[in-house]
Chains A and B, each alone.
Chain A
Amino acid sequence: MSDPAGTDLGSNQAYVLHVNGQGRDVRDAWLGESLLFVLRERLGLMGSKGACEQGECGSCSVLVDGALVCSCLVLAAAAQGQQIVTIEGVAPVGSPSDVQQAFVDAGAVQCGFCTPGLIMATHSLLERSPEPTEMEIREELSGNICRCTGYGRIIDAVQRVAVARRSQVAP
């Protein structure tokens, strides 16, 4: 293709994804694979969870060029050149982000399956709206299904982060 920014991939051609700040080669992959599948099965990043594979549950949420999306609905081969951030890229192992710590403190983690997606969604929400109302939290997290908590403690965790961040900013 004439335009260097565009790409044209034939069958089984290797391609590169930018995941958590690193270029990662994807080889011998079927080009119809979802980003979720490639993250887990090709790149060994098991934090993003696969459940519904149709964008209903939010367990596979990642950031693509800063936007919160379901990685199961992203065609991995079409995501070359975009910046992908997964739960593994949020904070190093052993030093959780404020959102991750708040989920632990509030008891918002039970079985833990939905947690990575909810952490990604919460980081994204607080980036766009630092002091969300409860309604806003509920609406913004409506794409992340949790079958354990009943959501009360998740909402509590989000509010704890908002309050803590505000007190850090205030003199």
Chain B
Amino acid sequence: MSSTYTLPVGPLHVALEEPMYFDVKVEGETVRAVELAAGHVHRGMEALAMNRNWFQNITLTERVCSLCSNSHPATYCMALENLAGIVVPERAQYLRVIADEVKRIASHLFNVGIMAHLVGFDSLFMHAMEIREIMQDVKEGVYGNRMNLGALTIGGCRYDIDEESKGFMLDQLNKLKPLVAELHNVYDTDPLIKTRTQGIGVLPLDKAIEYEVVGPVARASGVNYDVRRKVPYAVYPELDFEVQTDTAGDVHSRAMLRIREAVESVSILEQCLERMPEGPNQLPGFVPIPKGEAIARSEAPRGEVFYYVRSDGTDMPQRLKWRVPTYMNWEALQVMMAGCQVADIPLIVNSIDPCISCTER
């Protein structure tokens, strides 16, 4: 009898929210090698983007991903602003940071919640999702939507925060803070969580650099790279926050890092709401996009988002290319899964916070 066999996981699988196919070579219960086959939700969005005008692409890019839906139009607009030399009003820059950080908190809480579910701790999963609901209420109350905020436009924002919404947001943040602190404590001390996640799916620093991973996955392995600090944009240089890093590089450290980042995001939101100056939230008219090429980057919840725009002087892009954070993190699963147990596969996959519709576009 052969000692190894191949275990197919996916494309449709109970532990995956989106379709991805893993060809897992196992020896007994131990994983020896992993091959990935993608392409189950390829939508050809880059081809669509070349057939839409500059404004229509704001709506299109918002639909690349649901959990980082604000980062995409934000980075797309930044690329166009770099190309056309558009100065975004200061209030709009604050509004953009607020939208991004609201999404980040909700996204991180969603990911750590799913982790509890995969561990089999479903009451903690529901508790994390209930805490996340506070941010969902912020989205629904301020933006009118629970996922796609529709906050961005070229040269500014399409929404504004009045005194009433500001008070509502601050109230929600005050509700959130003690609950996130409590959640951090549970994830940090609960024996069930620790047993299932510590020392599992380890990505050492040298491999993190070799595979060029980004976002919380990279930072949990000791790569101190946060686009908000490395490549300042919007009003991040004026805000006080710490880039979270760790050295353990396992499933647990990635989850803890996400909770700590959510705490930092709450502080960023409070600073923004306090300091946001009065003024216009967008430019009065449309600035023509000249011929040329430009790049913009931002830190989405999952890591670095990259946009490259190339214009031939018409009202549609000659080429619009974006690279999402998860695209960089898939291959590193081969390192994280080597030698792991079959039962840990979903936990490790979830720990890179994968977004498949993002990856394939």
- Chain A partners chain B: no
A interface with B by C-beta (< 8 Å)? none
